[in-house]
Amino acid sequence: MTKIISYNVNGIRAATNKGLLTWINENDFDIVSVQEIKAMKEQAPLALIEELGYHHYWHSAEKKGYSGVATFSKKEPDNVVIGCGIEKYDREGRILRTDFGDTTLLNCYFPSGTTGDIRQDFKYEFLNDFFNWIENLKKERPNLIIVGDYNIAHTEMDIHNPKSNKNSSGFLPEERAWMTKWFESGFTDAFRHLNPELVQYSWWSFRANARANNKGWRIDYQSVSNPLKDKIKQSFQIKDAVHSDHCPVFMEIDI
């Protein structure tokens, strides 16, 4: 069994100061995929990560203090690919691939559109390009696990107040339709597959005591290509881990 978490840490250094690495050590995950690291590799607590027994791989944004992803794994991957080969996304540090045997893990941080139309349009471009890129990758690597912050709540079950958020970036009809298309294209939402009626969130605004009142969004996902879906054993949000405005998403899978 392989225990995987995906966690938007909203700054690896800030999260480390809040006990992130101690918590990871106590839980002994096999693979830890973190997003929005907001740091260059050399600014991160590399020695501490290595002390915990992890190999670590980084894809930082060119812009300092922004975006970026990193993957820590107990087992050394056979292959590591930084980025997707599309410069406008790769300069923002959005995709990191690690291969373990015939299984490929992609650690992804999808763009947010909350700052206005320019970034919302960029997000739509990313969704379209990412979908097409994955369609090609799937032919070569059919056993895919694609984890990370998708920045979209898929259904009304995945957001605390769907009516008042119907015009909010992250819950727009076009974004939700993309998620439906995504899961119809050969992927399974690990959490929803095992928990069809359970309401859990993975992100809460810092405003209005949202986390304490559990007024959140589920925007962090673990998509598993359908050849692997029967191998998913557990999937849930770890709500009591508080190192960020997100919480980790956990999956146990037989790979």
For residue 78, what pLDDT is reported?
A: 98
Annotated catalytic residue 102: no
Q: Find the catalytic residue in 30, 149, 189, 220.
A: 149
How much of the chain exceeds pLDDT 70, in percent? 100
Query: Using CA atoms, how far apart are residues 106 and 79, in angstroms rounded to an integer?
Result: 12
For residue 6, what pLDDT is reported?
A: 98
Q: What is the mean predicted confidence (pLDDT) over 28-32? A: 97
Segment (H or E) for 138: helix 117-140
Q: What is the mean predicted confidence (pLDDT) over 84-108? A: 98
Asked whether the predicted pLDDT for residue 201 surpasses 90, the reply is yes
Q: How many CB atoms lie within 10 A of CB 14?
A: 14
For residue 208, what pLDDT is reported?
A: 87
The pair of structure tokens assigned to 34 is: 């973190």
For residue 238, what pLDDT is reported?
A: 98
With beta carbons less than 8 A apart as the criterion, state whether 145 and 103 touch: yes
Segment (H or E) for 204: strand 203-204
Q: What is the mean predicted confidence (pLDDT) over 117-130? A: 98
Q: What is the mean predicted confidence (pLDDT) over 112-129? A: 96
With beta carbons less than 8 A apart as the criterion, state whether 193 and 209 touch: no
pLDDT band at residue 193 using 50, 70 and 90 as cut-offs: very high
Domain 2-253: which CATH number of 3.40.190.10, 3.40.50.300, 3.40.50.920, 3.60.10.10? 3.60.10.10
| Helical segments of 158-255, H only | 173-184, 190-194
Q: What is the mean predicted confidence (pLDDT) over 69-76? A: 98
Tell me, what amino acid is at 105? Answer: L
Mean pLDDT of the chain, nearest integer: 97
Domain locations along the chain: 2-253
For residue 154, what pLDDT is reported?
A: 98
* Gyration radius (Cα) of the chain, Å: 17
Helix and strand totals (H; E) in the chain: 7, 14
232-237 sheet: strands from edge to edge: 55-59, 69-73, 31-35, 2-8, 249-253, 232-237
Asked whether the predicted pLDDT for residue 47 surpasses 90, the reply is yes
Query: Using CA atoms, how far apart are residues 164 and 53, in angstroms rounded to an integer?
Result: 45
Asked whether the predicted pLDDT for residue 180 surpasses 90, the reply is yes
